[in-house]
Amino acid sequence: MPKGNILIVDDNKSVLSALDILLSPEFDQVTCISNPNLILNELSKSSYQLVLLDMNFKAGVNTGNEGIFWLQQIKEKYNDLSVVLITAYGDVELAVKALKAGATDFILKPWENAKLIATIRSAIQLSMSREEVKHLRQKEKELKKVINREEKFIIGSSPELMQVLKIVRKVAKTDTNILITGENGTGKELIAREIHRLSSRHNEMLVNVDMGAVTESLFESELFGHVKGAFTDAKENRAGKFELAHKGSLFLDEIGNLSFHLQAKLLAVLQNREITRIGSNQQIPVNIRLICATNKNLEELVEKGLFREDLLYRINTIHVEVPPLRERGDDILVLAEFFLKKYAYKYDKPAIKLNNQAQQKLLKYQWPGNIRELEHSIEKAVILSENNVLKADDFFLKPVSSSRIDTESLKLEEMEKNLISIALSKNPGNISAAAEQLGITRQTLYNKMKKFGI
């Protein structure tokens, strides 16, 4: 372990010699200077953990003002450096003044060797601790930058996406709770990351929790943490996700999967903004910005008694609905080109392109799996391609289910005809069941079948 470097400043050369002889065997480096004007220059040349500073440098002057002046000069430039003042005049008022100005301690001449060495060691330890804390803070700052680094991007310029981003920009600067909804694969996590990036908390962490992957038995431990010995496998203290997100943002993905009785525990924390680790009685305040996401209709779950209405109100101050890919028009091609470049580089096929027929096929497809399905389809096509042009036949897309008809392109009669066809296909040979499913009488169904030639 390093013992520390000391700079001694005193106009009395006999004092400097005595301190040099006493302290050199005890510490790594001892440097002595008699002119205080050299202090800042010496500190800039080498790394010191302590300055042992005389209070008076002029004969007949014992006010200590010179020492206070140089103390202030040192602390202004090297605030974490410990400074111990030494003087022949024991004045309580002067000592208090020195400590208020930033001195670590105060030693009187003549000193007791053991006490002086102990004081210096304590002061050096304090300097080292400050330096370590400073280093850890810098390391934490760099780590947060890495964690929050944008590895994925929001891509597209469709009016539907622009409307979402317009809302995001409006609400990001606030600390209001946000609920993001949308189908699987639409990019809800990317929207959450964009909200965090644009917020005043962007220098802190965005902590992501997949509520669908957290088992009920580990829910409290994962979110609120635990203390050592709280349960069988609790071998050390552990902070939960709420603590990790302190001063940052907490993203609870798939919150619609949270069981009803656990919703009450989450609600209590959101209301009180305090958590208690498992096995502890200490309440820990948390300052987080809450962002939630789900692909479920929470209002329907509330009506069915599967989701707490008060929790929905708590998390749903602002609602952001992410449009499905099929509603984003030419964004499909923009995303396709992005993924094409990504996987062409990954699989060393830099010249690969999409032909017009392939582009039209991608545009017409309904993309039930949204962006995630598009990315997978592009990657698969790139891997299996035998030339530099991807054709329509290179994309093996799932047939569009009759339940995913593009209703915007249909007239009312066409929609009615399609609904009847779907009901009949689901109830083959059973006209009564099909009519019941449609909410009409058997005779009405017969009439409509005759009208549409079904």
Q: Are residues 307 and 164 in the same domain?
A: yes
239 and 337 in one domain? Answer: no
Would you say the pTM of this structure is higher than 0.85? Answer: no
16/9 Cα distance (integer angstroms): 8
Calculate mean pLDDT across residues 407-430. 72
Residue 404's pLDDT band (cuts 50, 70, 90): very low
- Please give the pLDDT value at position 228: 86
Domain membership flag for residue 148: no
For residue 409, the model assigns a pLDDT of 44
Residue pair 7/31 in contact by the 8 Å Cβ criterion: yes
Structure confidence at residue 408 as a pLDDT band (50, 70, 90): very low
Q: Are residues 82 and 20 in the same domain?
A: yes
Q: What is the pLDDT of residue 89?
A: 66
Q: Residue 412: pLDDT above 70?
A: no
Last residue of a domain, one of 379, 398, 417: 398
For the ranges 149-163, 309-323, 406-420, 435-449, the lowest mean pLDDT is seen at 406-420
Instruction: Give dist(CA 363, CA 330) in Å, integer.
Output: 7
Claim to verify: residue 211 and residue 110 sit in the same structural domain = no
CATH number at 123 reads 3.40.50.2300
Q: How far is CA 146 from CA 142, 209, 223, 342, in A?
A: 6, 18, 22, 21
Please provide the average confidence, as pLDDT, over all residues in the chain: 87
Q: Count other C-beta atoms under 10 Å from residue 377's C-beta.
A: 21
Residue 145 pLDDT greater than 70, yes or no = no
Q: What percent of the chain has pLDDT over 70?
A: 91
Answer for the pair 43, 77: CB distance below 8 angstroms, yes or no. yes
The b/e string for 152-171 (b: 16+ C-beta within 10 A; e otherwise) is eeeebebebbeebbebbeeb
How many other C-beta atoms lie within 10 A of the C-beta of residue 33? Answer: 16
Same domain flag for 169 and 292: yes
My answer on whether 407 and 272 are in the same domain is no
| DSSP type of residue 233 | T
The answer, yes or no, to whether residue 11 has pLDDT greater than 80, is yes
Same domain, 90 and 61: yes
Residues with Cβ within 8 Å of residue 438, at least 6 apart in sequence = 419, 420, 423, 445
The least confident of 38-47, 292-301, 356-365, 425-434 is: 425-434
Stretch 156-184: mean pLDDT: 95
Shared domain check, 174 and 135: no
Give the residue numbers spanning the domain of 437.
Answer: 403-452
Q: Is residue 153 one of the residues assigned to a domain?
A: no
Binned at pLDDT 50, 70 and 90, residue 411 comes out as low
Residues 429 and 337 placed together within one structural domain of the fold: no
Residue 258 lies in a domain: yes
What digits encode the pLDDT tens for the residues 16-73? 999 999 999 999 999 999 999 999 999 988 889 999 998 888 765 667 788 889 999 9
Tokens of 316: 């749903």
**CATH code, 423:** 1.10.10
pLDDT tens per residue across span 95-118: 778 788 889 988 888 889 999 999
- The reply to whether 150 falls in a domain is no
Percentage of the residues of the chain whose pLDDT score is greater than 90 = 57
Residue 363 belongs to a domain with what CATH number?
1.10.8.60
